[in-house]
Amino acid sequence: MENLALIESFSEFKDDKLIDRVTLMAILEDVFRNALKKKFGSDDNFDIIINPDKGDMEIWQRRVIVADDDLDLDHLEITLTEARKIEPDFEIGEEVSEEVKLIDLGRRAILALRQNLISKIHEHDNTNLYKQFKDLIGEIYTAEVHHVRPRVVILVDDEGNEIVLPKEKQIPSDFFRKGDNVRGIIENVELKGNKPQIIMSRTSEKFLEKLFEQEIPEVFDGLIMVKNVVRIPGEKAKVAVDSYDDRIDPVGACVGMKGSRIHGIVRELGNENIDVINYTTNIQLYITRALSPAKVSSIKINEETKRAEVFLKLEEVSKAIGRGGHNIKLAGQLTGYELDVIREGNIAEEEDDVELTEFSDEIEAWVIEEFAKIGLDTARSILKQDVNDLVRRTDLEEETILDVMRILNEEFNA
pLDDT in tens, 63-87: 888 888 876 777 788 888 888 888 8
Per-residue confidence at 262, pLDDT binned at 50, 70, 90? very high
Max distance between CA atoms of the chain, in angstroms, equals 133
Q: What distance in Å separates the CA atoms of residue 313 and residue 299, rounded to the nearest whole number? A: 12
The answer to whether 333 and 374 have CB atoms below 8 angstroms apart is no
The pLDDT score that the predictor gives to residue 254 is: 93
**Paired sense of beta strands 338-343 and 307-312, if any:** parallel
Identify the top-confidence range among 95-104, 207-216, 255-264, 376-385. Answer: 207-216
Q: Is 349 in contact with 384 (CB distance < 8 Å)?
A: no
Candidate ranges 5-14, 26-35, 231-240; pick with highest mean pLDDT: 231-240
pLDDT winner (highest mean) among 2-6, 28-32, 36-40, 159-163: 159-163
Average pLDDT of span 215-226: 93
Identify the CA nearest to 212 among candidates 272, 281, 158, 143: 272
How many residues make up the chain in this entry?
Answer: 414
Range 170-198 average pLDDT: 90
DSSP strand pairing (162-166 vs 152-156):
antiparallel
pLDDT above 70 (res 105): no
Mean pLDDT over the full length of the chain? 83
- CA atoms of 24 and 13, how far apart (whole Å): 11
Strand partners, 302: 307
As a whole number of angstroms, the distance between CA 184 and CA 207 comes to 6
Of residues 372, 378, 376, 371, the one with CA closest to residue 355:
378
